[in-house]
Structure 1
Amino acid sequence: MQRIRISLPYFSAFGWEPTVVMVDPKYTDLPTDILLNEDIPANIKIHQVKALPKKWTSKVGLGSIALRALWFYRRKVNQLLKKEKFDLIYFSTTQFPVLILGAYWKKKFSIPYVVDMQDPWYSTYYEDKPKAERPAKYWFSSRLNKHLEPSAMNHVDGLISVSQAYLDTLNKRYPQLKSLSQQVITFGAYQKDFELAQKKQHKFELPFQKTDGLTHLVYVGRGGNDMRDALTLLFKGFKKGLADQYELFSKIRFHFIGTSYAPAGKGIQTIMPIAVVMGISAYVEEQTDRIPYFQGIFTLLNADGLIVIGSNDAQYTASKIYPYILAEKPLLAFFHPESSAAKIIKECEAGEVFSLKNEHLAVDEISQELYLMLSGKRKIIINWSVFEQYSAKNLTKKQCQLFNSVLDAGNLPNN
């Protein structure tokens, strides 16, 4: 959703006029954030579709918004394609089952489609992990994804991804994709969101008191067992600081917010258990419930420092890294060395990045960086000229260039 939202103001500048089809928010579990509509151009056509109510489908174990909305998407887009002329269908979502409609619409209406891979669809990452570390309903979702992914990938006309690793996996799995237009395009940086969050700051509350004399370090994003290595590394550095300079380091409070995709009140903590085992739970808070997007930005802007936790999966990339940079706060990031997010932070000189492969070398450095945060000595000198390449406008241009190349290729079925 965020990719499309911040691209909408710029599509027309590069020759594309978008029509959006989305699920009516009342059918989702997401917290309402009406500010998300503030910068959407008034001329954009937006159609909302229904979904089967979760209170019904949950009785048979079906909660996926994609599956609940699939039939309604099919019906609405069929209506649109019969009435109007469209050149391309663009899927930009992590609700992957919807993507199977691309092949259907391509065959029925001779219209190409592009898929934006923001996360892996079918992944074998958890296959060798203990059952306790696997996501809820993993057995069902893994098998469903394995069955559905080929339906979309065997007919797709172009691919966008936030990670080269995601594309490499798909190209290996489906060799015919190598001949198609493909592009790694990260999410864009959208400065206007920060301006709006500051303008509307009276609407938000912080999860901590700014005047309590403590140093509040914030992470807003998902947790998970695949982030155990990064968290352990961070906490080891913190524990060293506690041992060396207790009076100073005991003022740190870590806030991990929105760590679960589960509905409000039903998330399982994955960060606090690590803190408990390491004996630092008094300094750590974990809120599994997600918060509205602009609430998250407001929290980043008011933190004393920011933490970004990455996965031990080489394919993972923190596609929404830019808000952490735009907040202009001292930043510590923990990533697999192959992560594109680590590369972006380093290029822009926006923070300190620690590799999950260098644990023994990093603990002292992490402790030192935390000290610099505490003492206010960490200078923030972001290379904005480098950062400009990641602006929402520039990355929307890249999307449109790929759309054009798909149309130029013209690989469509015969009616």
Structure 2
Amino acid sequence: MNNQSTFKTYRTLLGIVMAFAILDHTRLFFHYWNTNPADLDHTTWPLFFTRFISHYFAPAVFFITGMELFHIMGKKTKTQNVWYLFSLGSALILIEIFINNFLYTFDIYYRTIGVFIIGSLGLCMFCMAGFQYCSRTFILVISLSIIAGHHLLDSIQFEGHSMKAVLWYLLHQQKYIPLGQNMYIINYTILPWLGIILSGYFFGFYYKPESSAVIRKKILLYSGWISICLFFLLRSINDYGESNPWKIEVSTAKTILSFFNLTKYPASLDYLAITLGPILLFLAYAENWKNPIADFFSMLGKFPLFTYLFSTFLIHFTAMAWLVVDGKPFQMMVITPDSYSDKSPLLNYGHSLAAVYLLSGVFILICYFMTKKINFFRFDFLNKAKSHKTIKRS
């Protein structure tokens, strides 16, 4: 498998899960604010499903990041990798704090600061600077140990905002920290996401140009099916692997929803098993996927950081503009600590799920054309640069 084909498979997967993320963010800003799709007493099948498919976004991003790090770091010295990873990690954390948080809140006073997927990726980059010195076997063992064993730490719970407590929140405990007029949110903890990056780093070996496509597909298929079977086994036992046990509800439909109602913050073993399994199967079957649908999602996933940030801005800005059209103050869509309380003016404001799906389709198309434009200008710039170098040499 050549590098171009490898990158297209990565991008196609990223494009698909990016579309899921755009749908979920559209739900967040256009459906009823702070509604919980996992609240079985008030949710519906379509609402639950809309949230559930977005669960594939984060595992795919962390896993592919690990695979790409394997290839990038393999071309540099250990010392160069340390500088690269610390620079990249610092940049991602700054983007999270100053750009992503603003696009999410539109609050110029930054009263709500969160560690979400971008910030967590940045923190994991720091850890990878040390793991590069370990063997692949050790990395696999650590990865599986983190993914399977992080629940053993669930009983350790901190309160307050001491340095020790904050470090623990960043490591393994989701937390909302109200502090004066501000709110600090930690959703994506280092554990277990570091385990996902490490597993992606391990799998990156099988995507080397000289690797066997047959062996790679077998490993992906076996790993994917084992992961899915592990989910159904653990969920059936209903003990270890998920802090939110399922139960028999008043109807079969609600019982099924309860079975698939999984914890994302921090991500449970069951959550990771049922998301990573299909991701691995997709990578196995989509290796030579060539059709207009693959081309569409490959383009959508070509510049994932840009698309993620741009789509957040686009969705939030459109939601704010929609408020004005509805004759309501746009300030309602400025997210502050009050937005998470019963004081939020958005509590009883929202639109149907059908409108959410329609709007998300529009947002996905806009992001697709934006990435297509960026790709065109990028290649045009590179071609001009190459042409200039050729003329200069001659």
Greater helix percent: which structure? 2
TM-score (norm 1): 0.26
* Greater RCO (CA < 8 Å, at least 6 residues apart): 2
Greater strand percent: which structure? 1
